[in-house]
């Protein structure tokens, strides 16, 4: 199995409140994982970078970004326009770098992923709501968009033939793991039958003693 990753796109969003003194920034990268041997996309991935503005200089740092959250929702659409939600999860920011999550591709159709901010640290309007919300600090209030991003990422269209190749590869891998080394199937195992022979002869001896005992009694 030879896996390679391809990045499909990037998104970046910044939310500033209190006249730009405080703000949050979220950056996203997204793509797919190819299995080159079966010529199929087997997974897609989302990378989430969270940053918090510190001070008046406008620098954004990975400070307290573990309190930042994004909701990731993926819907697969068929040719008739019917959608089925296949994945939904909440991903936290990572202070040591971008948080990255992988999802399996298991269904044919057009994959679309929506991102929505759920928590954005101290400098945010909070959970994504599709309305204007008021944020106040030190007696100062400001109205901001409660859902400051909600993009739809086009992951791509997966044909049924690609799903079939993925399933066949998965089944083959499962069988290889189950059966283990093929040499163990062709090498005959030696079985120690000495104990079996001892048991048989012992049984015959006991039966003979029982017969003799019966004859003497008669």
pLDDT in tens, 137-174: 677 787 777 788 999 999 999 999 999 999 998 777 65
pLDDT value at residue 163? 96
96 — pLDDT class (breaks 50, 70, 90): very high
The mean per-residue pLDDT over the stretch 182-192 comes to 33
- Any domain includes 178: no
Confidence of residue 202 (pLDDT cuts 50, 70, 90): very low
Q: What is the overall mean pLDDT for the chain?
A: 79
CB 118 within 8 A of CB 90: yes
Question: Using an 8 Å Cβ cutoff, are 84 and 131 in contact?
Answer: no
**For residue 186, is it within any domain?**
no
172 domain residue, yes or no = no
* Residue 214, in any domain of the structure: no
pLDDT at 59: 85
Quick check: is 61 in a domain?
yes
For position 178, what pLDDT does the model report? 54
Domain-embedded: residue 147: yes
Q: To the nearest 5 percent, what fractions of the chain are helix, strand and coil?
A: 25, 50, 30
Q: 163: helix, coil or strand?
A: helix
DSSP one-letter code for 53: E
Q: Is 119 a member of any domain?
A: yes
205 located within any domain: no
Total structural domains within the chain: 1
152: β partners: 114
Domain extent, residue 92, equals 3-158
The per-residue pLDDT for 100 is: 97
- Position with higher pLDDT, 49 vs 175: 49
Q: Which of the residue ranges 32-46, 166-180, 187-201 would you say has the lowest mean pLDDT?
A: 187-201
Does the predicted model carry a pTM greater than 0.75? no
């Amino acid at each position: 199995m030879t896996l390679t990753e391809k990045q499909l796109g990037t998104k970046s969003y910044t939310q500033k409140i209190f006249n730009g003194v405080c703000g949050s920034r979220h950056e996203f990268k997204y793509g797919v994982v190819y299995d080159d041997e079966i010529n199929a996309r087997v997974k897609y991935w989302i990378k989430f970078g969270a940053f918090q503005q510190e001070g008046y200089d406008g620098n954004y740092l990975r400070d307290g970004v573990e309190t930042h959250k994004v909701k990731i929702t993926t819907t697969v659409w068929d040719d008739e326009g019917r959608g089925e939600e296949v994945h939904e999860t909440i991903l936290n920011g990572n202070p040591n770098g971008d948080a990255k999550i992988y999802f399996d591709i298991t269904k044919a159709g057009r994959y679309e992923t929506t991102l929505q901010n759920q928590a954005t640290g101290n400098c945010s309007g909070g959970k994504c709501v599709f309305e204007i919300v008021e944020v106040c600090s030190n007696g100062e209030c400001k109205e901001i968009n409660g859902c400051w991003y909600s993009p739809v990422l086009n992951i791509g269209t997966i044909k049924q033939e690609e799903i079939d190749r993925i399933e066949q590869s998965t089944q083959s891998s499962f069988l290889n793991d189950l059966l283990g080394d093929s040499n163990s199937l062709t090498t005959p195992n030696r079985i120690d039958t000495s104990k079996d022979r001892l048991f048989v002869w012992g049984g015959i001896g006991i039966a003979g003693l029982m017969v003799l005992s019966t004859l003497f009694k008669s």
